[in-house]
Amino acid sequence: MNRVAITGIGIVAPGAVGIEPFRAMLDAAATAVTPVDRFDTEGLSAHTAALVRDFKARDYIPVMKMRRMNTLSRFAVSAARLAIDDAGAQPSSESGVALGTAFGPVQTSVDYMQEYVAKGTALAPPQLFAESVANAPGSHIAIEFDLRGFNVTMTQRESSLLAAAMFAGSQIVKGTVPSAIIGGVEEVNEMVFSVLDRIGALAHAEDGLSEQMRPFDRRRNGMSIGEGSAIFVAERTPSRQPYGWLAGFGIARDATATISDWGIDDAQAAVAMRAAIDDAEIEIADVDAIYTSANGTKRGDRLEWRGIQRLFGAGTPPVVATKGYFGEYAAGGGFQLAAVLVAMRDQKLHASVGFEEADPEMTFAPVIAPRATHLRNILVNSVSAGGGIVCAVVSREGS
C-alpha cells in the first residue's frame, strides 16, 4: 500500500490520559495492572486488571451529550478529542471512522437486560438499547466531529485495532476519504472478566508466584485485561510532521486454532509478518524492531515467537512486548500501536514489562530496559485467539 501518516494520538489509558503521560508511563516501564476494586472477584482465580482511573469525561464532552453515552463511548469520544487536538486541525467532514473492539458494550447490554426484566418493555431505557451495539462509540465520534465518510467497527479479538487500521488505511490510499479516525476501545466489566477467568485465560497466582502478566516469560500463565481507548488521526497528505506512517499490512489465519484459544501453525504468523513487510516494500533486514502481540498466554506467545524465529532466524531484530503495561484486547492493541509511534518519534525502544525469564525454546530475548536506537521500520504483530493474525509495518518516512 501507499503510506498513510499518523498525525495525532489521543490516549485514555489505565495510568495515563493524554499522549505525554502515556509516554512517561512507557519511559518509566510501569505497569497499570492493579487489584480490581470495581466488582467482587472473590471465588475467581484472577484479581487484577488495568483499569482507567482519574478520568473525567466531562473534561472532553459537554454534559448533555455525555449523558447519552455509555462508558465505552465516553472513552472513545474523549480520546478522539485528544487526538484531533494533538493533530492540530479538525478533520474534513468527508473523513471516515474505523474502530476496533473485542467485546464492545457488554456492560450496557447487561444493564439494559436487567432493566428490561425488572421493568418490562415499556419502561426499559431506550438509550441503553441504543448504546448496546458495538458501533455506538464510532457513531458518537462521527456525530460529535461531523465526520460523514465510512463508519465501521471491527471485532476481531486481539487484532481488532489493526484490522480497523488496515481497512481505514486502504480507503485513504484509494482516495475514498482524505483522512480517518482510527482507534481501539474496550471496557473491563464483571461478565467478561469472570468468563475469561473461568476458561483459564487470565494470569493468576500459581506455584508461589504472584499474579502477573508475563509476556514471553517461561512462567507465564495468562493475560491481564485492560480498558480505555487509543485514537489516531490518519491522513494521506499530512500538514505537519507525523509520528510515523502506516506502510504495510499483512493478514493470515491459523486454521488449527479453536474459537477461544491459539493454535500451533506458526507458519501462518510468519506469512502475515512477511506480507506486511512486502506490502511496505521493504526487506526483512530493514525491520529495526518488532512490537509483539505477546500477552502472557502459553499458546499465544509460543505461536508468535515461533513465527518470529521462522521468519527472521538468527537475524531477529530487537523484540518488545508492551501489553504488560496496559493489558490485552482492542484498547491494548491501540496502546500497542501508540507505543510504536512514540518509539518512532523518540527513536527509543521500550522495556518489555513482565518479562524476566526466557522460555528455553526462544532464541531471542525481549528488550528489558528502555534504550535509544535508530528506528526506520517497526513491525507490529497482532495474533488473535480464534486464529486471526494481522500485522503492520510502521515507518519513519513517507516513501
Task: Provide the 8-state DSSP code for 282.
Answer: -
- What is the per-residue pLDDT for 134? 85
First to last CA, the chain: 11
Contact between 259 and 364 under an 8 Å Cβ cutoff? The reply is: no
Same-domain check for residues 267 and 191: no
pLDDT at residue number 128: 67
Among 177, 207, 235, give the residue marking a domain's end. Answer: 235
Residue with cell 476481531: 156
Give the pLDDT mean for 28-43.
95
Domain boundary among 235, 262, 288: 235
Rounded to whole angstroms, how far apart are CA atoms 203 and 214? 8
The residues facing 186 across adjacent strands are: 228
Helix (H) or strand (E) holding 103: none
Could you say which of 235, 252, 283 is where a domain stops?
Answer: 235
Query: Looking at the structure, do residues 91 and 13 belong to the same domain, yes or no?
Result: yes
**Are residue 384 and residue 252 in the same domain, yes or no?**
yes
57: its cell numbers: 469525561
Residue 323 scores a pLDDT above 70: yes
In which residue are the cell numbers 471491527 written? Answer: 154
Residue of 128, 150, 387, 173 lying closest to 280 (CA atoms) = 173
pTM of the model: 0.95
Check whether residue 230 and residue 256 sit in a common domain: no
pLDDT in tens, 98-134: 999 999 887 777 775 777 677 777 666 767 667 778 8
Question: Residue 99 is part of which domain span?
Answer: 4-235
- DSSP structural state of residue 288: -
Are the C-beta atoms of residues 304 and 366 closer than 8 Å to each other?
no
According to DSSP, the residues that pair with 16 across neighbouring strands are 13
Looking at the structure of the chain, the number of domains it has is: 2
383: CATH: 3.40.47.10
Q: Are residues 213 and 318 in the same domain?
A: no
